[in-house]
Structure formats: C-alpha cells, structure tokens
Amino acid sequence: MMIRICFALTATLLTSTLAMAQGNCTFTETSGKVVVQSAQVHGAMGNIWIEWGDGGTTNFVRMPNGSFRDEGNNLWDLNEHRGARLQMRRADGASMSCFTPW
C-alpha cells in the first residue's frame, strides 16, 4: 500500500513538472472556426505532445526536415516554441497557438 502511494505521488509530481506550458490553446480551422481548450504542452525541439483539458492527447513527431507529423498524418510547421508559447501551422492552413500568462 505504501509503495503504491509513493509511486502515485512520484508520478504525479513528475507529470506536473514536465509541462512546458499550461493554459489555453487556440485552434483555428481553415474555415475560420476557432476552438479554445485548456491544455498542457510538453517536449521541446524533439517530439511535442499536448495533453488536452478533456483528457485527450495529441502527439507530434519531429520529421527529418524539421516539420512535425501528428497521428492523423497532418504536417505542421513549428513557428515558435519558447517556454509558455507554442505556435504551429498545419500544411492545409489551419493553425494552433498555445500560451500561458505566468
């Protein structure tokens, strides 16, 4: 029982400290529709993953040319990833911007 509690506490602390940015992400579809959702952005110039407020996760794998590919085979260009800011543009023109005002 004690080992489980320590493991759960350690996992919780590690998960909370790995987040690079936590706040809202704004996704703008090519139609112009805007969706805002709370999220935690993880990673750096390697792979990036976003844990969404609704419990979902999106993974972005860095490609040899510097772009990122998500699970739906969409290609994204990384415009900016510094601390609490992440801006990406998808090949079809959709965009995503995540920012946390600290």
Determine the pLDDT at residue 60: 94
pLDDT tens over the chain, length 102 residues:
434 333 333 333 334 444 455 689 999 999 999 999 999 888 865 889 999 999 999 999 999 999 999 999 999 998 876 666 789 999 999 999 998 665
Question: What is the domain-level CATH number for residue 20?
Answer: 2.40.128
Q: What is the pTM of this model?
A: 0.70
Domain that holds residue 77: 2-99
**If phi over 0 gives left and psi between -120 and 50 gives alpha, with beta otherwise, what is residue 85?**
beta
The structural domain count of the chain equals 1
Q: What is the pLDDT of residue 83?
A: 63
Of 32, 51, 30, residue with least CA distance to 98 = 51
